[in-house]
Amino acid sequence: MPHKPRKQTPQKCVRIGIDYGTTFSSVSYTVRDGDEDEESFQPGVIVDVITIKNWPDEPSGFAEQVPTESWYPSSPLRRRSPYRQFDSPDSWGADKILYPNKSAPGGFAPSDYLNETYGSEEGHEGPDLIDNDALVKDRDRSKDFLWGYSVSFQKMQYCHNRDTSLIVKRPKLLLLSSSYTENSRNHMRVQINKLLRRKIIRKYGKESEPDMRDVQDIIIDYLTGLLQHTKKQLVIYEGYSDAWAVKFSIAAPAIWSPEASRILQTSLEAAIHATGFGTSTNRQKSGHIIGGSLDNLFIGPEPECGINWLLHNPPQGQAQVVAGNVITSLDCGGGTVDAVTYQVGRNYPLRLGEQIVPPGGDNCGGNYLNRRFEQFTAHRLRDETYLCDNGYTLEYIVEKASEEFEMKDKRYKDVTQSPMTLGFYEIANLKSDISRGLHGTNAKGFDANRMVLNEKNYKDIFDKLLMRVWNVLKSQLDAAAMKERPVKVVFLFGGFAKAPSLKSFIDTSLKDYGREKGLNYPIKLIEDERKTVAAISAGSVLRSLNHREGPERVAKSSYGFLRREPHDQRRHGRVLPVVDKIDGDKYVSVVNYFMIKGQELDEIHEFEPIRCYHTFLRENKDRSMLCEELLYVSDTVAVSHKTLNSPKNKGVQLEGKIITKMTFLEDKKHISLIKPAPDVNGVVKGKPHYRVEYDLVPIIEKRNLRIEARWPVQPLSDADADRSEGSPSKRRRVEQNTIQTTLVSIAAAFEPGTS
């Protein structure tokens, strides 16, 4: 095993850092005493950060990352409805979560009963990837949902009967908006549309429009498997039990929008619910699920997380960086290579300061190197049709060779060195050049059962891609130099960064660049072979241990409640009111915002009470008086008193709710029956009813929004109260009781890294 099991210790807290990557993901953690202070991480203290291994169907047991891939069965899955996504289909149903399939470590099986029809659009745009879905469903009998290494493992089984078009790769791309990922996003959207038509995943937002949230089910399903395995490993190696506290942190790219962060945040919450990992009603266990939301989730910026790890316990002799240095983060993942340049703001705790050059990148990650090898191999074998006589396809043969390339030459060969040793790839039944009398220019480079690669072959496969990676970095160096803020250090991390060819190429290119520009100092390249592929998840753990000196607490989103306002022609304009059949009055439903984008907020911030009232018919007095308030979020500087259909509320999304049971008011005679009186014309508008009033008080607690329903109501604030700052009235005349509390995570509403 990669590490020895530890004895169980009670009263522990496990901090978990997640890097949900484009092509690979990783999970790291550290175990600390349960009563240890959150800000106890001190300079010079080495934190024991461990990365999860033993991924299902990964044979070595030592891999520190797992492919961000999923493979869906042809039949729809049953899922628990995502928390707070109330505009999603079947959100009020008692859905079942996915249960682990005991026969397949990397799989899930749907529940025993049939799935209900979700609200997917049958005629959604996008071509169908399969000509006859019914035929595919008939031959695809597997009910397992596969993820991670189990996808490639099952795909390489000779007689599998699964529909390979239902393999989902790189779903994270749909959360990005960079120009260099546009083509990949368009391809991903076609596959999303197919899954929606087949009702394998659920449609979010409007039926007729693509929505970024359409990828949410895919992320939930994957993270569910990720957390199930993580929990199992913690039980085995750390003695984890449900009595432990669990604190989560997750890394987000520098170019992400608040909506993208919210989707990842909501997906993680749903996965935690599905696995029962870190769920609790104990408010003292920060990081747990409370009222459907994740308590004080920490979202860290990917570049800062990766650099935190590289500088935490650097190899001997490795240079340190100091405040004021200009540094470039080069994150070489499987799909994209992303770079961004900052000035270091603080040495300890390490904080990145001013962004010198905006993020840039290209689709030239490690998976594209595999693709170039596959194209090369397919071209070399194009005329060897006899290889398929035993039932294997050329695609299968190429994929087997690609697996060998991933495990050998990509990980261990340095193609920048010359002379270079030959490479050999096993191809069953491949005829040798000698057996066919092929010599000189006619030779194909084949031995018996082996394809041979020489130095030129390797250069053809590697060099163009390595140059694209260098161009991403060079554009950052040039842009920084133009601003007279030259880069002194480059931090290299990510899955592709482990490839010796890439490291050597970047190192050599930096030296050549320094000579070309006449620099009187070397640009240092810092990388760490110990945890290159998991640097971001490990750094996410470290970053979550110390929140001090983070970005200013400025809201990036606006939050408000849906309110029923008495119709006012001057305020509501041409909006048609709705007559309430209970009290007979005219109302307009609008969103009123209490937290505004751009507002600076303290870690503890209580907003003005919001008066709520609900009416209930006398005939329904035997039913519970349930009062529901809906919370909406907008990523614009929102304007209150506008309807949901108003252009001012374009893009607004339902984010949460609080349901308060007020039946005790009628039971204890705190309210009386209201009987509408006739108007001047003798007409009675409305019906006998009860009117319930209470205060809704939003309170920010770091990265949480706590919403309290309080009764009895407070007198409204005086006109001179500072309402613009959301300050509570200082004139409290009534002692209130908190009737109901709910918690909504608003970590995504702040800059990543905010305390």
- Residue 340, classified by CB atoms within 10 Å of its CB into exposed (0-12), middle (13-18) or buried (19+), is buried
- Residue 44, classified by CB atoms within 10 Å of its CB into exposed (0-12), middle (13-18) or buried (19+), is exposed
pLDDT at residue 612, as a whole number: 93
Does the structure show a pLDDT above 50 at 96? no
> Does a cis peptide bond (omega within 30 degrees of 0) precede residue 349?
yes
Whether 51 and 64 have beta carbons less than 8 Å apart is answered as: yes
What count of Cα atoms within 13 Å lies in the side-chain half-sphere of residue 648?
A: 12
Question: What are the pLDDT digits (tens) for 413-448?
Answer: 999 998 889 999 999 999 999 999 999 989 999 999
Question: What are the pLDDT digits (tens) for 209-244?
Answer: 889 999 999 999 999 999 999 999 999 999 999 889
Backbone angles phi, psi at 479, to 5 degrees: -65, -40
What count of Cα atoms within 13 Å lies in the side-chain half-sphere of residue 306?
A: 32
Whether 174 and 215 have beta carbons less than 8 Å apart is answered as: yes
pLDDT band at 638 (very low <50, low <70, confident <90, very high): confident
User: Percent of the chain having pLDDT more than 90?
Assistant: 53
> Does a cis peptide bond (omega within 30 degrees of 0) precede residue 698?
no
Does the structure show a pLDDT above 50 at 22? yes
pLDDT at residue 468, as a whole number: 97
Does the structure show a pLDDT above 80 at 710? yes
Backbone angles phi, psi at 713, to 5 degrees: -70, 150
Strand order in the sheet with 337-346: 351-362, 337-346, 326-332, 489-493, 524-526
Residues contacting residue 743 through CB under 8 Å, at least 6 positions apart: 290, 291, 292, 293, 295, 704, 705, 706, 707
CA distances from 488 to 171, 320, 431, 605, 704 (A): 34, 11, 53, 41, 38
Cα–Cα dist 152/588, whole Å: 55
> How much is the average pLDDT of 685-714?
92
Does the structure show a pLDDT above 60 at 319? no
pLDDT at residue 621, as a whole number: 57
Angle CA 190–191–193, to nearest 5 = 65
Which of 6-10, 99-103, 352-356 has the largest mean confidence?
Answer: 352-356
Q: How many CB atoms sit inside 10 A of residue 391's CB?
A: 8
Angle CA 653–654–659, to nearest 5 = 165
Does the structure show a pLDDT above 60 at 108? no
User: Percent of the chain having pLDDT more than 70?
Assistant: 83
Residues contacting residue 157 through CB under 8 Å, at least 6 positions apart: none
Question: What are the pLDDT digits (tens) for 567-588?
Answer: 887 888 888 889 888 888 889 9
Query: Any bridge partners for residue 706, and if so which?
Result: 699, 743
Whether 370 and 397 have beta carbons less than 8 Å apart is answered as: no
> How much is the average pLDDT of 117-145?
44
Task: Write down the residue that tokens 């009737």 correspond to.
Answer: 739
Cα–Cα dist 608/699, whole Å: 9
CA distances from 274 to 146, 269, 373, 391, 748 (A): 16, 9, 39, 41, 21
Q: Which long-range contacts (CB under 8 A, 24 or more apart) does 317-320 make?
A: 318/526, 319/489, 319/524, 319/526
> How much is the average pLDDT of 43-49?
77
Cα–Cα dist 154/140, whole Å: 13
pLDDT at residue 335, as a whole number: 87
**276 or 605, which is more confident?**
605
DSSP state of 642: B
> How much is the average pLDDT of 240-254?
91
Cα–Cα dist 518/514, whole Å: 6
What count of Cα atoms within 13 Å lies in the side-chain half-sphere of residue 732?
A: 13
Does the structure show a pLDDT above 70 at 123? no
> How much is the average pLDDT of 508-529?
92
Residues contacting residue 144 through CB under 8 Å, at least 6 positions apart: 73, 101, 104, 107, 108, 109
Amino acid making up residue 383: D
Cα–Cα dist 130/107, whole Å: 24
Amino acid making up residue 745: S
Whether 169 and 147 have beta carbons less than 8 Å apart is answered as: no
Cα–Cα dist 493/503, whole Å: 10
> How much is the average pLDDT of 334-347?
89
**326 or 528, which is more confident?**
326
**Could you tell me whether strands 50-51 and 24-33 are parallel, antiparallel, or unpaired per DSSP bridges?**
antiparallel
Dump the DSSP string for 197-234: HTTSS---S-TTS--GGGGHHHHHHHHHHHHHHHHHHH
DSSP state of 284: T
pLDDT at residue 113, as a whole number: 22
> Does a cis peptide bond (omega within 30 degrees of 0) precede residue 127?
no
**What pTM was estimated for this model as a whole?**
0.84
Cα–Cα dist 296/277, whole Å: 16
61: left (phi over 0), alpha (psi -120 to 50) or beta: left
**733 or 338, which is more confident?**
338
Cα–Cα dist 408/135, whole Å: 39
> How much is the average pLDDT of 332-358?
87
CA distances from 481 to 231, 316, 415, 459 (A): 47, 30, 30, 31
pLDDT at residue 469, as a whole number: 97
pLDDT at residue 308, as a whole number: 84
Q: Hey, what domains does the chain have and what are their CATH numbers?
A: 12-66+225-301 (3.30.420), 67-224 (no CATH), 317-527 (3.30.420.40), 558-749 (no CATH)
pLDDT at residue 433, as a whole number: 93
